[in-house]
Amino acid sequence: MTTEADDDLVPVSVRLGEVVPPEDPEDWTRPLTWVAALGMLAGPIATLAWFMAAPPVDSSAALPATYLVAAVLAGGAAATGASQLGSARAATATLGSALFGGLVVVVIGVVMAGERQVGTASPTLAHGVAAALGGVAGAALAAVVAGIVGRLQSRAVRFAPALAVGLIGAVSVVAGLLPG
């Protein structure tokens, strides 16, 4: 038999026999929730718009849109990380956002490929993979910065250095993957 004192040690949401909603459910009316969500989806949205409007026809060199998608992916991840307080949360949100966005960018490249090629990747897939790798690499660098500045109160101070480092990293990696 448990006593009332024992019940106080166990959170209400895990007591057996009671169905209790979470104490602090995610509230989609909060602006920072939307910043985090849009940060994760910024790269995929840019990729989808690019591939629908003017898909690449050649994969021999990076196009300005390839750099743009990588930069938007890293920048969105930096924005997601800046919405979090605390070093660990900021760093993991930055990297997690980029990994999710990068995966969706590659999937969009596969879906929009149109034809299947043997021996070489379709241009949408090649540019999607290069942009995703560049964006994730830039976001990995931004995550390190986000971890350093994650305890600061100002969102702008948390966002700006992570964004700058992320953009530099993203553009550098894309330039190395698809020179030209």
* DSSP conformation letters of 61-78: S--HHHHHHHHHHHHHHH
Q: Looking at the domain assignment, is residue 111 inside a domain?
A: yes
pLDDT digit string, tens, across residues 166-180: 999 999 999 999 886
Q: Looking at the domain assignment, is residue 7 inside a domain?
A: no
Q: Looking at the domain assignment, is residue 92 inside a domain?
A: yes
Q: Which of 31-35, 49-53, 112-116 has the highest mean pLDDT?
A: 49-53
Q: Looking at the domain assignment, is residue 152 inside a domain?
A: yes
Q: Looking at the domain assignment, is residue 16 inside a domain?
A: no
Q: Looking at the domain assignment, is residue 19 inside a domain?
A: no
| Domain that residue 146 falls in | 29-177
Give the residue-averaged pLDDT of 66-81: 96
Classify residue 61 as exposed, middle or buried by CB count within 10 Å of its CB (0-12, 13-18, 19+): exposed
Q: Looking at the domain assignment, is residue 9 inside a domain?
A: no
**Structural domains in the chain (count):** 1
